Amino acid sequence: MTPRHLLTLEDFSGKELRPLIDRALVLKNERQAGVHHQQLSGKIIGMIFEKPSTRTRASFEAAMYGLGGQVMFLSARDTQLARSEPLKDTARVMSRYVDGLVVRTFGQSVVEELAAYSSIPVINALTDLHHPCQVLSDVMTMFEKKGDIASLRVAWVGDGNNMANSWIQAAGKLGFSLTLACPEGYEPDAGILAKSQAQAAKAITLGREPAQAVKNADVVNVDVWASMGQEDEQIARRAVFSRYRLDDKLMALAAANAIVMHCLPVHRGEEISESLFEAQAETIFDQAENKMHMHKAILEAFL
């Protein structure tokens, strides 16, 4: 049987994504109530990471152990991938040892090729193009903090990066409105935007003005200006993005009691001011915690 992979949110309907959010909230409550889970006992996931990670790695590992399963972490540079062993061979070998692969890498084509040759589910733990598991847990956080997802006005301010692309797909599938403000030349993927706009129940709008995106928003999302792999562009990007910094003045345009979300790690004083970050820290660290609960829901569903 061909396994179902989680490579991008585009591959799922809203009706398929919504139960993951509900299940993650149940698993969160059960953990707080001390419920002991063993549903993944006897299962192993392999985690192949070609980029650094604190949260995604630790939360997937904690999620797997929390459901009674086990984890094999493979730093890509210590594997034969670093010596150019083909992905299609790696996929077929790993399929003989473990029950699922969680992969963080550069090109989306890497997770696609691994999935094409795996007889086990492949889960995208961040590529240059998407960060689907992160955005699923962020939507969970948004729901937890703000209720009814469909009525929410969500803003994205900054780079049209992997996170922005996954937010666009989430808006298309789950039916909340999304307004993005990105500088010229740093827009999200045009194909992803057009496709999600065509299927969305609420508007997904791309503009240039941070104030326009933040105005009346219930949830304001920011992320780093230079993502992993773009370290060489960091200085040039600082100049382009300086007017996209989220601070108290910009945030004052948002709806009353609006929340700020940041997937972390944060560059304080760049995409967000230190004072606004600290004022919103509770939400942002709840957001980080929710990755673990969402990853449990994902592992349970896909394994």
Q: What binding mask, one character per residue, do residues 204-223 give for ligand CP by CB under 6 A, x or -?
A: --------------------
Place of tokens 């942002």: 284
44 binds, among ligand CP, ligand NVA, none (CB under 5 to 8 A by kind): none
Query: Which residues would be at the binding site for ligand NVA (CB under 6 A)?
Result: 126, 161-163, 223-224, 227-228, 263
In whole angstroms, the minimum distance from the beta carbon of 215 to ligand CP comes to 27
Q: Which of 8, 105, 134, 161 binds ligand CP (CB under 6 A)?
A: 134
Show contacts with ligand CP in window 231-290 (CB under 6 A).
263-264
Taking residue 133's Cβ as centre, other Cβ atoms within 10 Å add up to: 25
224 binds, among ligand CP, ligand NVA, none (CB under 5 to 8 A by kind): ligand NVA
Q: Of 299, 296, 288, which Cα lies nearest the Cα of 134?
A: 288
Describe the crossing of helices 14-32 and 281-302 by its angle, rounded to 10 degrees. 110
The pair of structure tokens assigned to 137 is: 């847990």
54 binds, among ligand NVA, ligand CP, none (CB under 5 to 8 A by kind): ligand CP
Residues binding ligand CP: number (CB under 6 A): 8
Q: Of 226, 219, 211, which Cα lies nearest the Cα of 280?
A: 219
In whole angstroms, the minimum distance from the beta carbon of 284 to ligand CP comes to 10
Side chain identity at residue 133, one-letter code: C
The pair of structure tokens assigned to 2 is: 């061909």
Residue 44 forms beta bridges with which residues? 70
For residues 279-299, b (16+ Cβ closer than 10 Å) or e, as one string?
ebeebbebbbebbbbbbbbbb
Give the three-class secondary structure for 74: strand
Show contacts with ligand CP in window 140-199 (CB under 6 A).
none
161 binds, among ligand NVA, ligand CP, none (CB under 5 to 8 A by kind): ligand NVA
Determine contact, residues 64/38, Cβ cutoff 8 Å.
Answer: no
Work out whether 55 is an interface residue with ligand CP (CB under 6 A): yes
165 binds, among ligand NVA, ligand CP, none (CB under 5 to 8 A by kind): none
Residue 142 phi, psi dihedral angles, 5° rounding:
-60, -40
Q: What binding mask, one character per residue, do residues 90-129 give for ligand CP by CB under 6 A, x or -?
A: ------------------------------------x---
223 binds, among ligand NVA, ligand CP, none (CB under 5 to 8 A by kind): ligand NVA
